[in-house]
Amino acid sequence: MPHSVLIGFAVLVICHTSQAGYTKFPDGFTFGVATAAHQIEGAWNVSGKSENVWDRLSHTRPEMIADGTNGDIACDSYNRYREDVEELAYMGVDFYRFSFSWARILPSGRVDFVNPDGIRYYHDLLDALAEKNIEPLVTLFHWDLPQTLQDLGGWANPKMVDYFRDYADLCFKEFGRKIKSWITFNEPYEICEDAYGDEKKAPAIDSHGVGNYLCSDTLLKAHAEAYHLYNETYRPTQNGRIMISINSIWYEPSDTNNAEQVTLAEVANQFKFGWFAHPIFTEEGGYPSVMVENVAQQSAAEGLPKSRLEQFDQYWIDRIKGTSDFLGINHYTTHLITGAGVDPIAKSPSWLKDIGAVTTMNVGGESASEWLRVVPTGFANLLRWCKSSYNDPPIYITENGFSDRGTLQDYGRISYFNDYLSEILNVIYDDNVKVLGYTAWTLMDNFEWRAGFSERFGFYFVDITQPDRPRTPKLSVEYFRQLLATRELPQDERFKDPSMRRL
Q: Which is nearer to ligand NAG, 4 or 45 (CB)?
A: 45
Taking the complex as a whole, how short is the minimal distance between the CB of residue 322 and ligand NAG, in angstroms? 4
CB distance 399 to 372 below 8 Å:
no
| Whether residue 399 lies in the annotated active site | yes
Dist CA 46 CA 369 (whole Å): 32
Question: Is residue 365 classed as helix, strand or coil in its secondary structure?
Answer: strand
Binders of ligand NAG among 366-395, rule CB under 6 A?
none
Q: Which is nearer to ligand NAG, 299 or 323 (CB)?
A: 323
Question: Who contacts 165 (Cβ-Cβ below 8 Å, separation ≥6)?
Answer: 222, 225, 226, 229
Q: Which is nearer to ligand NAG, 318 or 370 (CB)?
A: 318
Of the candidate residues 9, 30, 64, 72, the single one contacting ligand NAG (CB under 6 A): 72
Taking the complex as a whole, how short is the minimal distance between the CB of residue 445 and ligand NAG, in angstroms? 19
Instruction: Say which of 187, 190, 252, 399 is annotated catalytic.
Output: 399
Taking the complex as a whole, how short is the minimal distance between the CB of residue 207 and ligand NAG, in angstroms? 30
Rg (C-alpha) for the chain, rounded Å, is 22
Is-cis flag, bond preceding 349, omega within 30? yes
Number of residues that bind ligand NAG (CB under 6 A): 5
CA triple 429-330-108, angle to 5 deg = 150
Q: Which is nearer to ligand NAG, 230 or 287 (CB)?
A: 230
Question: Who contacts 7 (Cβ-Cβ below 8 Å, separation ≥6)?
Answer: none
Q: How many CB atoms lie within 10 A of CB 46?
A: 11
Q: Which is nearer to ligand NAG, 45 or 486 (CB)?
A: 45
Per DSSP (E only), the strands in 66-108 are 95-99
Please give the single-letter amino acid code of residue 161. Answer: V
Of the candidate residues 50, 77, 184, 323, the single one contacting ligand NAG (CB under 6 A): 323
Q: How many CA atoms, within 13 angstroms, populate the side-chain half-sphere of residue 96?
A: 28
Q: Which is nearer to ligand NAG, 72 or 206 (CB)?
A: 72
Of the candidate residues 8, 322, 365, 394, the single one contacting ligand NAG (CB under 6 A): 322
Please give the single-letter amino acid code of residue 90. Answer: Y
Taking the complex as a whole, how short is the minimal distance between the CB of residue 281 and ligand NAG, in angstroms? 11
Taking the complex as a whole, how short is the minimal distance between the CB of residue 40 and ligand NAG, in angstroms? 15
Binders of ligand NAG among 30-59, rule CB under 6 A?
45
Taking the complex as a whole, how short is the minimal distance between the CB of residue 315 and ligand NAG, in angstroms? 13
Of the candidate residues 30, 231, 282, 407, the single one contacting ligand NAG (CB under 6 A): 231
φ and ψ of 67, to 5 deg: -110, 15
Of 37, 33, 19, 27, the C-alpha closest to 1 is: 27
Binding site for ligand NAG (CB under 6 A): 45, 72, 231, 322-323
Residues annotated as catalytic (active site), given as ranges: 399
